[in-house]
Structure formats: C-alpha cells, structure tokens
Amino acid sequence: MADKCPECGSQNLSTDSRRAEKTCIKCGLVLEERQIDTTQEWRAFDYEQKQKRDRTGSFLTYTRHDKGLSTSIGDQGYSDLYKLAPSKRAAFYRLKRWHRQVSTATERNLRYALSELDRISSAIGLPKNIRETTALIYRKAVTRGLVRGRSMESVVAAALYAACRKHNVPRTLDEIAEGSGVKKREVGRTYRFITRELGIKLLPTSPIDYISRFSSELKLSPKTQERAIAILKSAQGKDLISGRGPTGVAAASIYVASTLESEKRTQREVAEVAGVTEVTIRNRYKELIEELGIEDKMAEAAA
DNA sequence: AAGACGAAAGTGGTTGA
DNA sequence: TCAACAACTTTCGTCTT
C-alpha cells in the first residue's frame, strides 16, 4: 500500500521476492516482510489444462453485497421436481423465492449502500480501487453497528472520504459533500467517528497530493506542476505547512509556480479550483515567498 | 475594467480547563 | 460544557496595471 518510505520519505523501494521482503533502498528500513506469494505455481498451455488446474473462481470484490460469491438456486432439472411429494415441491419454490430476495437487514442495507456508492463515485469520477476500499470500510462499519442513528448516505460519504485519503488521491470535503448530497459538516463528523471507532489512522493530507489535480484543471504545464511541488518540498521543513489547510497551501504554491513559469493564473482562478478564497491564497503565498526568499523573483515575474 | 491588496468582522471547529 | 483560539471566509474600500 505504501509507496513511500515512512522513515526517510524515499520512493526508492525494492521488492525481493526470494526473501519476501519490501525494503527502502535509501535507509534500509524493512517495510513489509513475509509477503504472500500470489503467483501461480502451475502453468497451463491450453484452455483445457487451465480448466483442469484452476482451483479458484472469480475475484472477491467488496463492492458486491455478497463479495461476488453469489450462488442461486438453479432453474435446471425441473423434471426431477415432479417426482417429489407436492409439499416438498412447494418447499423448493419457497426456498428459491426466499433466496432470490435477500432478506437480512444487513444485506439489504449493503445493497442500497453500494448502489449509493456507485452513484457518488461515478459522479465524482473515482477509480475502482477506491470503491473497493470504500466498500470495505463501509462493510466494517455496518458489522460494527456504527450506522445506527446515522444516515446511510453520510456513512458512505465518510467512508469514501477516508478511502480517498488512504489512496493519496484526496478529495476535499466539499467535493464529497457535493457529490453525495450530505452536508460537509455531517461528512466530517461521521468521518471522524468511524475512523476513530474502526481504528483507521490517516496522516494529515499533504498539499502535494492536490497539485496534479488542481494543475490539470487549470491546464498548467508539467513543468509548472514540478515547480509547485518543488516549492512545497522546500517549504516542508520550515513549518509553513503544518496547521494550515492543505488546499490553501497547495493553491498558493500553484499560484506562485504559475507566475514564475509565466503561465500566470489569477488568484481568482486558482481559488476557484482549490475551493479556497483569494485572501487565503494571498496569506499563504506571502508566507511562502518570504520564507523561501524569492520575493524579488516573484515581483519580477509579475511585472 | 480587472486583478491584486489588506483590514476588519464573522464562522465553524478544536482544545484545554 | 464552556470559553479561548487559530485558521479561514466574507465583505469592502483602495491601489495597480
């Protein structure tokens, strides 16, 4: 899951399959050990061999209420049915019908929640792995009885927010709130509740994670993106990031980078996509250029 | 006319007694 | 539970290009 070393931040990781370990090349920290080998131990040269040697079915997925493992009572072999006593036959039909309509409260809840999840995530445009994570979190929340007394939508939204952060593709609370129709405040509150109850630990979002998304919305060149990230990285050690809203900091660095790379965007434009006000950008970017000693460069580029 | 600037008052959430 | 508090927003008048 982690693609960065938590110790030194290096992304230079190595996976050694013989030792079943994942290590950081820079500082030597072992990130994962006793990895499970998920590759096949057999080969199949044609379809028949594959049929014979396959021991598994399709993938498990958490986005289906039954994890994709559904089995239904078949329609085949009805002729045999007439050999049974009428009462047995009636029982068969009853079972079949009962089976078709999933009956426990949890399952029905899950079905509804997952269709809700589909709606929201396609509205915001989120990849499949995030849906999977969301579904998993939601499933845990349901089995722990955390949904009681809360609207289901808010729990789905909160799980989605958590999943996005876990995958380092953060969406702002505003975006989630808009897509789900749950109030921002409610999403935040539920998010805090379920992460606490489920013991999910998430680091504060880094502004860097927002750069690529905001930049592409502003149609900025890759060079400017790089610049914005570089600005953030050099600001990291200087206590300009912590305690500040990550979106504001991201917006400020994009504003500065776009000016320096002569691809200028107005504060208004940047503020729009980042979901902050111009005033915030001003405050943040003043701090940034002051601390990094690039005030004159900035003034020069603006002129 | 549009963008940038900054002061001042208001808002929602966190923290610590 | 309440007050203090920091970050952020809203609003608005002024300056710059």
Can you list the pairs that A282-287 forms with residues at least 24 positions away whose Cβ atoms lie under 8 Å?
A283/A248, A284/A244, A284/A248, A284/A249, A284/A251, A284/A252, A285/A252, A285/A253, A285/A255, A285/A256, A287/A240, A287/A252
CA angle A261, A265, A269 (to 5 degrees): 150
CA of A174 to C1' of B9 (A): 24
Assigned domain for A223 exists: yes
Question: In this predicted structure, what is the pLDDT of residue A1?
Answer: 46
CA of A125 to C1' of C3 (A): 43
Sign of CA dihedral A180, A185, A190, A195: positive
Strand C lies under 7 A from the Cβ of residue A243: yes
Question: In this predicted structure, what is the pLDDT of residue A90?
Answer: 79
Q: What is the largest CA-CA distance in chain A?
A: 94
pLDDT at A77 over 60: no
Q: What's the rounded mean pLDDT across residues A60-77?
A: 60
Q: In this structure, what token pair is assigned to residue A283?
A: 């405050």
- Which A residues between 225 and 264 have a beta carbon under 7 A from any strand B atom? 264
Assigned domain for A99 exists: no
Of the listed ranges A71-80, A167-176, A242-251, the one predicted with least confidence: A71-80
Q: What's the rounded mean pLDDT across residues A43-62?
A: 66
Assigned domain for A78 exists: no
Please name the residue whose C-alpha is nearest to the C1' of nucleotide C8. A280
Q: What's the rounded mean pLDDT across residues A239-254?
A: 83
Percent with pLDDT over 90 in chain A: 7
Question: In this predicted structure, what is the pLDDT of residue A255?
Answer: 92
Residues A194 and A213 reside in one and the same domain: no
Q: How confident is the model at residue A175 (pLDDT cuts 50, 70, 90)?
A: confident
The residue segments making up the domain with residue A26 are 1-35
Residues A242 and A296 reside in one and the same domain: yes
A27: domain CATH number is 2.20.25.10
Q: What's the rounded mean pLDDT across residues A121-138?
A: 87
A270: the nucleotide nearest its CA (via C1') is: B3
Assigned domain for A42 exists: no
Residues A254 and A174 reside in one and the same domain: no
Q: What's the rounded mean pLDDT across residues A96-107?
A: 63
* Strand B positions within 7 A of protein Cβ atoms: 2-8, 12-14
Assigned domain for A89 exists: no
Assigned domain for A192 exists: yes
CA of A174 to C1' of C9 (A): 14
Q: What's the rounded mean pLDDT across residues A245-253?
A: 89
The pLDDT tens digits for A285-302 are 888 888 778 888 888 776
Point out the domain boundary residue: A151, A178, A198: A198
A168: domain CATH number is 1.10.472.10
Domain count, chain A: 3
Strand B lies under 7 A from the Cβ of residue A183: no
Residues A263 and A223 reside in one and the same domain: yes
CA of A144 to C1' of B14 (A): 27
In whole angstroms, give the CA distance from residue A203 to residue A171: 15
Assigned domain for A17 exists: yes
Answer with the residue of higher pLDDT: A290 or A215. Answer: A215
The pLDDT tens digits for A260-270 are 888 888 999 99
Strand C lies under 7 A from the Cβ of residue A283: yes
Which H/E stretch holds residue A21? strand A21-24
Residues A234 and A180 reside in one and the same domain: no
pLDDT at A103 over 60: no
Strand C lies under 7 A from the Cβ of residue A184: no
Point out the domain boundary residue: A176, A198, A220: A198
Residues A252 and A192 reside in one and the same domain: no
Assigned domain for A52 exists: no
Q: What's the rounded mean pLDDT across residues A149-171?
A: 86
CA angle A100, A106, A112 (to 5 degrees): 75
Pairing of strands A30-32, A13-16: unpaired
Contacts of A137 (CB under 8 A, 6+ apart): A159, A162, A163, A194, A198, A200
Question: In this predicted structure, what is the pLDDT of residue A91?
Answer: 79
Highest-confidence segment of A140-144, A170-174, A209-213: A209-213
Answer with the residue of higher pLDDT: A63 or A198. Answer: A198
Q: What's the rounded mean pLDDT across residues A75-103?
A: 68
* Strand C positions within 7 A of protein Cβ atoms: 6-11, 17
Q: Mean pLDDT over all residues of chain A?
A: 79
pLDDT at A102 over 60: no
Residues A154 and A240 reside in one and the same domain: no
